[in-house]
Amino acid sequence: MKKKQLKQSIVYCGICMLVALHSIQGRAQFSIGVQGGYNKNYLVTNVSNLVSTQYNPMGGFSLGIPMLYTLTDWFAIKSAPGYTQKNSQMQRTGFYQGVYQNNTNGYLQLPLMAHLSFGGETLRGYVDAGGYAGYWLSAHVKGTMPNILNPPAYTGLTSNQQPNNVFDEYTPYSYDEKYQFNTTKDNRIEFGLAAGAGVSYKLSDTYQVFGEATYCESLTDQQKKYETGQVPRYNQTYVFSLGLLYTISRKDY
Sequential DSSP letters for 240-253: EEEEEEEEEPGGG-
What pLDDT score was predicted for residue 253? 45
pTM comes to 0.83
Chain centroid to CA 90: 17
| Each residue's pLDDT tens digit, 31-57 | 999 999 999 999 999 998 888 999 999
* Residues of the chain above pLDDT 90, percent: 73
Which range has the worst mean pLDDT, 121-125, 223-227, 234-238? 223-227
Which range has the worst mean pLDDT, 3-7, 60-64, 169-173? 3-7
Which range has the worst mean pLDDT, 8-12, 67-71, 218-222? 8-12
Rounded CA separation 84/125 (Å): 24
- Per domain, the residue ranges of the chain are 3-252
How many Å is the Cα radius of gyration of the chain? Answer: 23
Q: Is the predicted pLDDT of residue 190 greater than 80, yes or no?
A: yes
| Each residue's pLDDT tens digit, 114-167 | 999 999 999 999 999 999 999 999 999 999 999 988 776 555 655 566 778 888
What pLDDT score was predicted for residue 37? 98
Rounded CA separation 68/74 (Å): 12
Average pLDDT of the chain to the nearest whole number = 88
Neighbouring C-beta atoms of residue 73, cutoff 10 Å: 11
Exposure letters 97-129 (e unless 16+ CB within 10 A, then b) = eebbebbbbbbbbbbbbebebeeeeeebebebe
> What is the CATH code for 3-252?
2.40.160.20
